[in-house]
Amino acid sequence: FAGLATANHLARKVNRREVKITLIEPKEINVYEPEYLIWVFKDKPFSDLARPISKILNKSVNWLKTTATKINPENKIITIENGDEITYDFLVLATGAKMAEDKIEANIKVNNICNFYTKEGVEQLKETIKNFDGGTIVITPTTVPYKCPPAPFEFAFLLDNHLRKKGIRHKSTIKILFPLSRTFTKVELAKNVENLFDKRNIKFVSFFNYDGIEF
Residues 68 and 120 in one domain: no
94, part of any domain: no
| Residue 212 domain-assigned (yes or no) | no
In tens, the pLDDT along 112-160 reads 788 898 899 899 999 999 999 999 999 998 778 888 899 999 999 999 9
The reported pLDDT for the residue numbered 14 is 87
Expressed as residue numbers, the domain containing 153 is 101-205
165 and 109 fall within a common domain: yes
pLDDT digit string (tens) for 65-116? 999 999 999 999 999 999 999 999 999 998 877 777 776 665 555 567 888 9
Of 62, 87, 112, which one is at a domain's C-terminal end? 87
Are residues 31 and 79 part of one domain?
yes
Long-range contacts of 98-101 (CB under 8 A, 24+ apart): none
55 and 148 inside one domain: no
**Does residue 114 sit in the same domain as residue 197?**
yes
pLDDT(26) > 80: yes
What SS3 class is residue 95? coil
Q: Are residues 105 and 200 in the same domain?
A: yes
Same domain membership, residue 83 and residue 110: no
Rounded to an integer, what distance in angstroms lies between the CA atom of residue 31 and that of residue 13? 25
**Which residue, of 87, 119, 136, is where some domain finishes?**
87
pLDDT at 48: 93
Give the residue from 87, 117, 142 where a domain finishes: 87
The pTM of this model reads 0.82
Q: Residue 215: its pLDDT value, please? A: 55
Mean pLDDT within 21-29: 94
- The count of other CB atoms within 10 Å of the CB of residue 37 is 21
Query: What is the chain's mean pLDDT, rounded?
Result: 90
**What is the domain count for the chain?**
2
- If asked whether residues 79 and 126 sit together in one domain, one would say no
Q: Does a structural domain hold residue 96?
A: no
- In this structure, the answer to whether residues 109 and 143 fall within a common structural domain is yes
123 plus 193 within the same structural domain = yes
Q: Do 74 and 124 reside in the same domain of the chain?
A: no
Q: Looking at residue 189, what is its pLDDT? A: 95
* CATH code for position 121: 3.50.50.60
